Amino acid sequence: MTDSLTVRDNRTGQEYDVPILDGTIKAADLGKIKTAEDTPGLAVYDPGFVNTASCRSSVTYIDGEKGILEYRGYPIEQLAEKSSFLEVAYLLIHGALPTKAEYDAWVHEITYHTFVHENVKTFMQGFRYDAHPMGMLMASVGALSTFYPDARNISDADNRHMQIVRMIAKMPTLGAWSFRHAQGKPYVYPDNDLSYTANFLSMLFKMSESKYEADPRLVKALDVLFILHADHEQNCSTNAVRSVGSSQVDPYSAVAAGVGALYGPLHGGANEAVLRMLKRIGSKENIPAFIQGVKDGNERLMGFGHRVYKNFDPRATIIKKACDDVFEVTGVNPLLEIAKELEKIALEDEYFIKRKLYPNVDFYSGLIYEAFQFPPEMFTVLFAIGRTPGWLAQWLELVQDKEQKIARPKQIYTGDRTLDFVPASERWA
Ligand SMILES: CC(C)(COP(=O)(O)OP(=O)(O)OC[C@H]1O[C@@H](n2cnc3c(N)ncnc32)[C@H](O)[C@@H]1OP(=O)(O)O)[C@@H](O)C(=O)NCCC(=O)NCCS
């Protein structure tokens, strides 16, 4: 067996041998296939990059058929159960688990950098009272590039490390302040005696008490949710970070692009749609009629199905367990009953079985966030905080990868050519 592809171009009758490496061919090799020397070579048309690998990566492995998700080789189930978000962040960024000394130094660095410049606060206060927190997060993380102009020196390893630490540390501060802004409440400064996730909850919910200490079960559940969202290989927002980062801009600007991509309803907004759907169903008796509507093609069962996972989404199983832990503290959300019944009925139904439709990460996460009393606009902000180490690990990989170039796809031009311009004075005469 030879690791190559023989392509016969029926326009010319010529044959080409294209090497296969790691299950891929190089698109540039197809560019050598031409009808004449001065014509453009063959290109690949792939809107949405559904079958195009854009990089080599050792950050995250997914096997959608088998329901496997691993960060740096470690299964998500083990990380969610036994690790912490900051340890997972270290793993993603550095590629290996930390020693005790490395972990302590990492936690210290992140904790030390949670504060933002006072002018960031003034800047955030300038947003309208009803500004969407994701818009505020995108703008404020991008604005950090103006506070740290040295960040553009991306070829220096120490400098890159500094910006990575700053960004992981400051995202919860920016996210929490965007939440407080919408509520007209004073912004709460970080409390560096608390853990990363407990401090985030303090910045969100602290009022006049001298110290805000969230229930440890809630802290743990949110920490697990951050772990589950920490990376998902070349998804839309990660691709945005890589694409913008490929221009060698500073990482704050690249991550702001990732936040922008995540803001879109097709990426970060599905859990909000699940909540709306559950509220619309209203009670268990209405489930059969709803399911029938889905099967008739009038509805979509939000939180079911995934482009990559075709047997189960490993994150959904972990989230379901976290749901029980959270509701033990907050009291059960009546929508949970509907969600569980809906899942049970759907998993036994031929329509869903045949199409391999299973609950995804968003089916239960919205319920958890609602139990924390987050408004739906905040759901994506939480996703962004969790995804930040993943974006940065991928950015770091990109800037050190000698094979990478500035992202610049081709197009198939469909417009007019060589028209003669007639000046307005003649056209309108
Ligand atoms: C995630 C999603 C976009 C993946 O889409 P995809 O991989 O392009 O899959 P397709 O849309 O081609 O779906 C394949 C079949 O399953 C059906 N299907 C997919 N998701 C469905 C859902 N949530 N409810 C009902 N039917 C669904 C499609 O109608 C299609 O049926 P058909 O073969 O009879 O036409 C899709 O499953 C979806 O919209 N899910 C709901 C939104 C959601 O939860 N998104 C969060 C993802 S983490």
Tell me, in angstroms, the distance from the centre of ligand 1 to residue 295's CA.
12
Secondary structure (DSSP) of 70-132: EETTEEHHHHHHH--HHHHHHHHHHSS---HHHHHHHHHHHHHT----HHHHHHHHTS-TT--
Lookup: tokens for 287: 């489930």
Secondary structure (DSSP) of 229-246: HS--SS-HHHHHHHHHHT
pLDDT at 423: 97
At 16, the amino acid letter reads Y
pLDDT at 82: 97
* 267, 306, 364: residue to mutate for ligand 1 pocket, most atoms within 8 A of CB: 306
Angle among Cα 408, 243, 245 to the nearest 5 degrees reads: 120
CA pair distance 336, 184, nearest whole angstrom: 30
Residue 267: active-site member: yes
| Contact (Cβ atoms closer than 8 angstroms) between residue 264 and residue 236 | yes
pTM: 0.93
Q: Is the CB of 198 under 6 A from ligand 1?
A: no
Q: Is the CB of 306 under 6 A from ligand 1?
A: yes
What φ, ψ does residue 176 adopt, rounded to 5°? -65, -40
At 415, the amino acid letter reads G
Give every residue of the chain whose pLDDT is below 50, as ranges. Answer: none
CA pair distance 26, 54, nearest whole angstrom: 10
Tell me, in angstroms, the distance from the centre of ligand 1 to residue 340's CA.
19
CA pair distance 197, 84, nearest whole angstrom: 10
CA pair distance 4, 141, nearest whole angstrom: 45
Q: What is the pLDDT of residues 373-398, one digit of tens each?
A: 999 899 999 999 999 999 999 999 99
* 65, 229, 267, 300: residue to mutate for ligand 1 pocket, most atoms within 8 A of CB: 300
- Biggest CA–CA distance in the chain, Å, is 80
- Ligand 1: nearest atom to the Cα of 306: 1
Residue 229: active-site member: no
pLDDT at 20: 97
CA pair distance 154, 250, nearest whole angstrom: 7
pLDDT at 404: 96
CA pair distance 67, 314, nearest whole angstrom: 6
pLDDT at 269: 80
pLDDT at 312: 85
pLDDT at 307: 82
User: Within 13 Å, how many C-alpha atoms sit on residue 266's CB side?
Assistant: 6
- Ligand 1: nearest atom to the Cα of 274: 44
pLDDT at 151: 98
Q: Among 62, 389, 379, 391, which Cα is nearest to 222's?
A: 379
Q: What is the pLDDT of residues 284-339, one digit of tens each?
A: 999 999 999 999 999 899 999 888 888 889 999 899 888 888 999 998 888 989 99
Give me the numbers of helices (H) and strands (E) for the chain, helices first please. 19, 5
Q: Is the CB of 362 under 6 A from ligand 1?
A: yes
> Using CA of residue 59, residue 64, residue 70, residue 76, what is the dihedral sign?
positive
- Ligand 1: nearest atom to the Cα of 305: 37
Q: Is the CB of 268 under 6 A from ligand 1?
A: no
Residue 362: active-site member: yes
pLDDT at 323: 87
Q: Is the CB of 276 under 6 A from ligand 1?
A: no
CA pair distance 364, 366, nearest whole angstrom: 6
3-state helix, strand, coil in the chain (%, to 5): 55, 5, 40
Nearest CA to ligand 1 atom 45: 270
